[in-house]
Amino acid sequence: MPTLYVVATPIGNLGDLSPRAVQTLRDCALIAAEDTRVTRKLLTHFGIATRMVSHHRHNEAERTGELVERMLAEDLAVALVTDAGTPCISDPGYLLVKACTEANIPVLAIPGPSAVAAALSISGFDCREFAFYGFLPRASGPLRKKLLAIASSHVPVAVVYESPHRVQALLEAVAETLPGARACVCCDLTKLYECALHGEAAQVLSMLRANPNAQKGEYCVVLDLHDIAPPPASAPPPAASLEARLLEHMLSGLTLREAEAALREAGERRNELYKASERVKEFLGASE
């Protein structure tokens, strides 16, 4: 019967591909790969000759329907893989999984490597409860706003991905916006330049700056928010101020303009709100 296998592949070390994953890739009729060139190297290493079809972020909406139709018409078993790690976690694939479940095609997980799980396991943090956020905003203002939202969620551990070119900016924003946050910054997991740096965000930032290989691998960052301190005076203003009330409304999901309207309805003067809004924009580093 048609079946979709969601197969985790190595995030670096080829020895992490499980025997079950090898057998699945060998036995299935077709492999839906994020990048066939990357997957070809993996298949060649293990002597697997299964046919492939590309299935990536830019074609998955169109390709998904075609694959499901083929699976049903030809009774195909298909393996879904991405370039590295577990599909559908900040990688393409969820549309195909969703379509298969809707078509009553069994979907089976072939578990294995995951950068998120690997980083959590070596963080030294209490990870009984955590949230994964993928890649955070690039611009300074939206990044700091997102960090404040993460802190306000009260989930004690957060996991994010970051590129080697922006990881220092991320740690700078964490150190300034969430004082007391600890970090486990994992680079190039299972590969040549693998390292894990532990400490408060500012300490880890110093370690990154001193690391000559800091630009040579992708990053998975675990943030421990159990002991974050109240924001310093240079960050968000005191709770009673208009600025803080605007930020509080924004953290609940409103835009700055909507937050202004809410406070106007509560009786605040328009001129004072305008001044407070300008200070909030300056703090966030970007206008709404």
Domain with CATH 3.40.1010.10 in the chain: 3-113
pLDDT reported for residue 243: 84
CA distance 38 to 16: 16
**Strand 131-135 vs strand 157-162: parallel, antiparallel, or unpaired?**
parallel
Q: Which stretches of the chain are assigned E, i.e. beta strand? A: 3-7, 30-33, 52-54, 77-81, 107-110, 131-135, 157-162, 182-187, 195-200, 219-224
Average pLDDT in the chain: 90
Question: Which residues lie closer than 8 Å to 153 by C-beta, 6 or more apart?
Answer: 131
Give the confidence band of 232 by pLDDT, cuts at 50, 70, 90: very low
164-222 pLDDT per residue, tens = 999 999 999 999 999 999 999 999 999 988 999 999 999 999 999 998 878 888 999 99
Secondary structure element (H or E) that encloses residue 95, with its range: helix 94-102
Q: Where are the beta strands (DSSP E) in 70-194?
A: 77-81, 107-110, 131-135, 157-162, 182-187
> Looking at the predicted structure, is the pLDDT value of residue 5 above 90?
yes
Beta bridge partners of 222: 159, 184
Tell me the percentage of the chain whose pLDDT exceeds 90.
71
Give the CATH superfamily of 3-113.
Answer: Tetrapyrrole methylase, N-terminal domain (3.40.1010.10)
Helix axes 60-74, 94-102, angle to 10 degrees: 40
Sheet holding 195-200, edge to edge: 131-135, 157-162, 219-224, 182-187, 195-200
Per residue in 154-168, pLDDT (tens digit) is: 899 999 999 999 999
Beta bridge partners of 132: 159
> According to the model, what pLDDT value does residue 257 have?
86
CB 175 within 8 A of CB 202: yes
Architecture of the domain made up of 116-224: 2-Layer Sandwich (3.30)
Residue 230 confidence (pLDDT) above 80:
no
- The rounded distance, in Å, linking the Cα atoms of 100 and 77 is 12
Residue 142 DSSP code: H
CA distance 287 to 271: 18
pLDDT score, position 229: 61
- In the chain, residues under CATH classification 3.30.950.10 are 116-224
What percent of the chain lies above the pLDDT cut of 70?
A: 94
Q: How confident is the model at residue 269 (pLDDT cuts 50, 70, 90)?
A: confident
pLDDT at 53: 97
Q: Is 75 left (phi over 0), alpha (psi -120 to 50) or beta?
A: left
Average pLDDT over residues 8-33: 97
